[in-house]
Amino acid sequence: MIDGIGSDLPKEVGETLRSREETLAVAESCTGGLIGAAITAVPGASDYFDAGVAAYAYDAKRRQLGVSREALDEHGAVSEPVAREMARGVRDVADVTWGVSATGIAGPSGGTEEHPVGTVYVGVAYAGPWGSESSFATVSRYEFDGDRAAVRDETVEQALSDLLAAIDERSDST
């Protein structure tokens, strides 16, 4: 179990990526590396996992992932546009098939009326073959309950679930 992550999701993600010969990189803010830790807890993760970037600060998101100043200034780090740019950025910088991002407010402080503690955005970006126009990025907003550890654990579970759903949806459309 990784910081409360006791499900079979990391193994399922690994088996799915391996069978499709696809690769993954993650960009994490509020989880600080827990998604990557869950993925790499599975033996053989090097077959499909390329990189994890823990970009906690604004400048780290900009430098390491190419998140625009405009997105950060206009929307803040905990937002749909920033989660989208993080997922696309890690996908493109690592040159992988899938990029996953998580940015949110794990608490216990930092929440606002618009973004209470527990608000998390999870992004998933797919890199289609050049010229196929099949690349995409999606973002979902969640509000998790519980203390800091619970919010972070739920974010890891949700990010892996969102990735599997995107892979399944992509498989159904091809």
What angle, rounded to 10 degrees, do the helices at 148-173 and 9-20 form?
Answer: 30
pLDDT digits (tens, 9 = 90+) for 65-81: 999 999 999 999 999 99
Q: Cα(83)–Cα(31) distance, rounded to whole angstroms?
A: 13
Numbers of helices and strands, H then E, in the chain: 6, 5
- The answer to whether residue 96 is domain-embedded is yes
pLDDT digits (tens, 9 = 90+) for 56-113: 999 999 999 999 999 999 999 999 999 999 999 999 999 999 999 999 999 999 988 8
- The answer to whether residue 22 is domain-embedded is yes
CATH number of the structural domain spanning residue 58: 3.90.950.20
- The answer to whether residue 2 is domain-embedded is no
Torsion angles phi and psi, residue 147, rounded to 5? -80, 180
- The answer to whether residue 23 is domain-embedded is yes
4 pLDDT higher than 50: no
Residue 122 belongs to what domain range? 9-173
- The answer to whether residue 4 is domain-embedded is no
- The answer to whether residue 161 is domain-embedded is yes
Q: What six digits make up the tokens of 164?
A: 């599997």
Q: Cα(121)–Cα(113) distance, rounded to whole angstroms?
A: 16
Domain count, the chain: 1
> Exposure string (b/e) for 49-74, b if CB count within 10 Å is 16 or more?
bbbbbbbeebeebbebbebeeebbee
